[in-house]
Amino acid sequence: MNIWTVLHVLFVIACIDLRFTECKTKQDSAFDVGVNDAPEFKESKPVRYLLYNVNPGEGFNLRRDVYIRVANLVKLLNDDEPWALVLPPWGRIYHWQTREISQIKLPWSLFFDLESLRRHIPVLEFEEFLAVSEKPVIDEIYYLQRYKEGWTKWEEKMDILECLEKHGYSKGKDGRWHHWFFGYGDDVYANKFECMSYMGHAGFIKPFLMHNISGSRSVMLDRAETLLHDHFGQKRSWEGRRSMVYAKHLRDIGDNFREKYLGSTDKKDKTVLDDWTKMKKKHGDAKGGPYLAIHLRRKDYLYAHGGEIPSIQLVPKKVKSILKKHKLKKVFIATDAPNEEYEYLKQEFGEKVEVYRFKPTPEEHEKYKDGGVAIIDQWICAHARYFIGSYVSTFSFRIQEEREILGFEPEMTFNRLCNDDSDTCEQPSKWTIKY
């Protein structure tokens, strides 16, 4: 980490710590923004840091949903005292199957615009947290787990109890707790570790964080997917989601592809992106590019949800009527299908329909990893005139959210293909945006 990054982080923390109401920072990012509008506190309090982690088996797009839950917990904490969220580095995710490139210790800035995130809450990269810490230590870690008796009835509760499962933490002879810690395990340790059985929304843990760990500056919640949304689909939830603007370098690649192959630009398509805190699009504001986008899950999805998706042979047949209805002649496909299946689809759509997929150059793949390539696919799908997703796919969910933010009509967004035997299956729930 260079000296200018360290100085920037120290400046951000100083802004939070001193309760500045207009503390501006400038970086090479999508927007010229400052630290979020933290409230003024009655007495000076040092900034505290919340870290979190997620079950290693969870995918990229579910982790983005967990971020919203934890970010809005930090938003609640900042109503009473200054907290900053430390972003867990990305890496070793199940669906990132490219083994020949390094995919650990990946910063959030590789995928998202940090200044946009900071419009919602104060955030730091993990390396930035280490840079401003006196020692590479996390004061306390709480591993969130189920209750041994299960969910016999719903009630919000939490208890420090014995650990019920393998968690990967070990206590050394020095009394310190050691772990992989996102690939930084040789350099980072924790002073305290406990298992906490938890049933409740994210905000339910706020009093515990404020009053039960008063002597600690940094606290980590592992298995944070255990925390439920406080107000899923409501204004605060959407604020967290809207702040998750993709990194400009990824949007630029997607925009160049759209313009070159799909005849799509933001100005023509009415999808110009603005400061999310000021942008309030209505349904129908966005027109979208002159193409239909499909997210088509294959591979392991055939075993998990094979009865809910069409065979590769029937995909063109099911889509052609939609192309005709909306007078479209181009199709963009985001898919994990092998190349031979993609070539088959191109052939079956026929010469009158142009079919495209995004293939990164080796240099782009090495630089932006599987996660960056996935975001480029999602960005292109989000700008289509009409979108068709895959059944209960979080990849599709994130595209649908992006289209809500841009202002598309719900009927042009919340769609999926039915299996071979039906054309009238249940369509996705319409989680429309709230301002």
pLDDT score, position 98: 75
Least confident of 20-29, 34-43, 143-152, 234-243: 20-29
Contacts of 7 (CB under 8 A, 6+ apart): none
Q: Using pLDDT thresholds of 50, 70 and 90, give the confidence band for residue 31.
A: very low
CA dist., res. 158 & res. 183, Å (int): 29
CA dist., res. 425 & res. 287, Å (int): 26
Average pLDDT of the chain? 89
> What's the rounded mean pLDDT across residues 386-412?
96
CA dist., res. 45 & res. 122, Å (int): 15
CA dist., res. 112 & res. 106, Å (int): 11
Please write the tens of the pLDDT for every residue from 208-245. 999 987 689 999 999 999 999 999 999 999 999 999 99
Q: Is the pLDDT of residue 95 over 90?
A: no
Q: Is the pLDDT of residue 19 over 80?
A: no
Please write the tens of the pLDDT for every residue from 295-324. 998 877 677 777 778 889 999 999 999 999
Least Cα distance to 106 among 98, 219, 24 occurs for 98
For the question of residue 58 being annotated catalytic, the response is yes
How many CA atoms does the CB half-sphere of 336 hold within 13 Å?
A: 15
Q: Is the pLDDT of residue 43 over 60?
A: no
Strands 157-161, 189-199: pairing is: antiparallel
Please give the model's pTM, rounded to 2 decimal places: 0.89
Q: Check 22, 58, 149, 343 and give the catalytic one.
A: 58
Q: Which domains does the chain have, with CATH numbers?
A: 3-239 (3.40.50.11340), 246-412 (3.40.50.11350)
Q: Is the pLDDT of residue 1 over 70?
A: no
Q: Using pLDDT thresholds of 50, 70 and 90, give the confidence band for residue 102.
A: confident
Strands 170-171, 189-199: pairing is: unpaired
Least confident of 174-183, 373-382, 383-392, 422-431: 422-431
pLDDT score, position 148: 93
Least confident of 143-147, 195-199, 223-227, 336-340: 336-340
pLDDT score, position 424: 84
> What's the rounded mean pLDDT across residues 71-85?
97
